[in-house]
Amino acid sequence: MNIVVIGGTGLIGSKLVTLLRARGHEALAASPNSGVNTLTGEGLDAALEGCDVVVDVANSPSFADDAVLDFFTTSGRNLLAAARRAGVRHHVALSVVGTQRLAESGYFRAKIAQEELIRASGLPYTIVHSTQFFEFLSGIAASAGQDDTIALSPAYIQPIASDDVAAALADVVLGAPVNGIVEIAGPDRFRLSDLVRDYLAVKGDTRTVRADVHARYFGAELKEDTLVPQGAARLGASRIGNWLQAQAPASRLR
C-alpha cells in the first residue's frame, strides 16, 4: 500500500511512518521540509500520485484563533482537493476527543471546521479522536501558568502515549474507512489538575497547581467528562506512571 503522511516528521507522524514501513508498506513522510506544503499546495499533487491512503497528522504552528483557523481550513481544502484529483481511497485525520464539546476554544473551532471539510469532501474517511498525549502535559502546564500558580480544571483526562496513538493510527490506515470517528485513549483516568501536579513534582517544578472548575482549557471551560471518551474507545497499553518515572531528571534519580 502507498501511504502519504502529512506531518510525517512530527511526533506522531514519524512514529507512524516507521510502523507502516515495518509492516511492508510504502510510507512518505510529507512536510514543508520535504517540499510538500499543504498551505500553499506546493508538492501536493506529486506527493499524492499513486497514493492509496493519505494521513493528516499536521498541526498548526500557532494556536492564535485566526491563525489556527486559517491553517486547518486552508490546509484541509488543499489536501482534500489534491486527494480527490489523485483518486485517494481513504483519508485519515487525527483529531481530539471532545472536539465538538470545546467550541469555546479557537483551536477546537478550527478542528471542528477541519472535520466538517473532511465529512463534506466525498472521500472515504476515518477521523481518529485521541485523548491528549502523555508528552503534552508540559504544554498544558505552560498554557495555564500564571507566575508560580497554575490554575487547572479538575475535569477528567485519560491521556495516551504517543506510541499507542501511532499504533492505533497504523491499524486505521491499513483498515477500511469507517466514514466516521474512531476514539482512542489511555487505560487510566485522572483529574487533570492532579495529573499535572504529579507531573510537575516529578520534574522538580515547584509551581503550585490550583484546582478550579472554571479554569479554562485552551479557552474553553470543561465539564467533568469533556476530555474523555463518551462510549467505547480503543485503549492504549502504556501506563502513565511508568512514563512519569522516566521524566524525572537524572539528578533526582541518584
- Please give the Cα distance from 43 to 45 (Å, whole number): 6
- Please give the Cα distance from 48 to 36 (Å, whole number): 10
- Please give the Cα distance from 217 to 158 (Å, whole number): 15
Mean per-residue pLDDT over the chain, rounded: 95
Could you tell me what percent of the chain has a pLDDT over 90?
91
Residue 248 pLDDT: 81
What is this structure's pTM?
0.94
List Cα–Cα distances, 243 to 5, 198, 203, 214, 240, in angstroms. 26, 12, 12, 29, 5
- Judge whether residue 253 has pLDDT over 70: no
The set of residues, in sequence order, having a beta carbon less than 8 Å from that of 3 and lying 6+ positions away, is 20, 25, 26, 27, 28, 51, 52, 53, 54, 55, 173
Cell of 17: 511512518
- Please give the Cα distance from 53 to 30 (Å, whole number): 13
Average pLDDT over residues 37-53: 97
- Judge whether residue 56 has pLDDT over 80: yes
Could you tell me what percent of the chain has a pLDDT over 70?
98
For the beta carbon of residue 136, count every other beta carbon within 10 angstroms. Answer: 15
Q: Answer with the residue of higher pLDDT: 28 or 252.
A: 28
pLDDT tier for residue 64 given thresholds of 50, 70 and 90: very high
Lowest-confidence region among 51-55, 75-79, 141-145, 167-171: 141-145
Give the CATH number of domain 2-253. Answer: 3.40.50.720
Residue 111 pLDDT: 98
Residue 250 pLDDT: 58
> Which residues is 1 bridged to in the sheet?
none
pLDDT tier for residue 39 given thresholds of 50, 70 and 90: very high
Tens digits of residue pLDDT in 166-214: 999 999 999 999 999 999 999 999 999 999 999 999 999 999 999 999 9
Average pLDDT over residues 102-115: 97
List Cα–Cα distances, 116 to 52, 53, 120, 245, in angstroms. 22, 19, 6, 39
Domain borders along the chain are 2-253
Tens digits of residue pLDDT in 115-146: 999 999 999 999 999 999 999 999 999 888 76
Helices (H), 90-136: 106-120
Residue 247 pLDDT: 86
Q: DSSP character for 22?
A: H
